């Protein structure tokens, strides 16, 4: 592999690392949007529970309990997503940093 192409790949990998660092933690970066969607969903689902009742077995709960159940489920989904996305970001970042170190070592040897 030509030195020129190695330098280009190194530059591209550094750009990917920078982009990965800038775009990590989507839950924290978009927290107000997620909160707004959560508020909308938690008040919309109980109103529409008659149509949901046919597809999902929703127990006959009072309105406020249905809101609390919806908030709990939404929060659980967002929390799981947060940890999964952080794990994926860290894994990808480690791969890119490893490849960057390999290319730096190769360029130093040539």
89 within 8 A of 24, measured Cβ to Cβ: yes
Average pLDDT over all residues of the chain: 86
Reported confidence tier of residue 89, pLDDT bands at 50, 70, 90:
very high
Please name which of 41, 32, 23, 27 lies closest in space to residue 78, comparing C-alpha atoms. 27
* pLDDT surpasses 90 at 57: no
Q: How far apart are CA 4 and CA 43, in angstroms?
A: 58
Most confident residue range from 51-55, 64-68, 87-91:
87-91
Q: How far apart are CA 33 and CA 53, in angstroms?
A: 28
Give percent of the chain with pLDDT exceeding 70. 89
Q: Taking the domains of the chain in order of start, what are their residue ranges?
A: 3-109
């Amino acid at each position: 592999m030509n030195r020129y192409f190695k330098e280009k790949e190194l530059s591209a990998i550094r750009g990917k690392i920078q982009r990965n660092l800038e775009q990590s933690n989507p839950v924290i970066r978009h927290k107000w949007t997620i909160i707004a969607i959560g508020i909308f969903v938690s008040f919309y689902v109980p109103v529409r529970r008659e149509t949901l009742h046919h597809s999902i077995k929703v127990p006959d709960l009072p309105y406020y309990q249905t809101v609390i159940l919806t908030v709990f489920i939404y929060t659980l989904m967002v929390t799981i997503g947060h940890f999964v996305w952080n794990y994926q970001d860290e894994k990808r970042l480690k791969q890119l940093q490893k490849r960057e170190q390999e290319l730096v070592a190769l360029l130093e040897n040539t």
